[in-house]
Amino acid sequence: MSNIPEELRYTETHEWIKDLGNGEYMIGLTFYAQDQMGEIVMVEFPGMQDFNSGDILGTLEAVKTAEDFYAPFDCKVVRVNGDLEDEPALINESSYEKGWLIVVKTDDPSGFTSLKSAVEYTEFIGE
């Protein structure tokens, strides 16, 4: 069974989102998704720009696959996890803590509240 923290929200594309306050949200890859991908060997980050909901924010490359990660709502990237450039495996080792991907800012918090709860995400992945 995957580790699915209750306080986070989730997308159908397997990103987790944490409300940091002041309209800022941390985004990462769920434990389930990193487990499915295998060892992540590279992260391609977005620029510090505006994105619409569903836009590709960046790419994660694993030994045998590559997957994009997406904007969960309209937002602007304000920070990336630079530690992942040298240690992309942090996503596998600590997907909800040290392996976070980016921080975004939005003026519309309704995008966050409309995402899946931990219970809904658990059902979505069939656990």
Place 127 in a pLDDT band, splitting at 50, 70 and 90. confident
At 60-119, the pLDDT tens digits run: 999 989 999 999 999 999 999 999 999 999 999 999 999 999 999 999 989 999 999 999
Instruction: Identify the three-state secondary structure at position 34.
Output: helix
- Look over the chain and give the mean of its residue pLDDT values, rounded to a whole number: 94
Residue 2: how many other CB atoms lie within 10 Å: 15
Q: Given this model, what pLDDT does residue 51 score? A: 96
Split at pLDDT 50, 70, 90, the class of 1 is: very low
Q: Which of 38, 41, 42, 75 is nearest to 58 (CA)?
A: 42
The fold of the 28-115 domain, in CATH, is OB fold (Dihydrolipoamide Acetyltransferase, E2P) (2.40.50)
CA dist 39 and 56 (Å) reads: 21
pTM of the model: 0.95
Domain regions of the chain by residue span:
28-115
How far is the C-alpha of 62 from the C-alpha of 83, rounded, in Å?
Answer: 17
Fill in the DSSP letter of residue 48. S
Helix (H) or strand (E) holding 77: strand 75-80
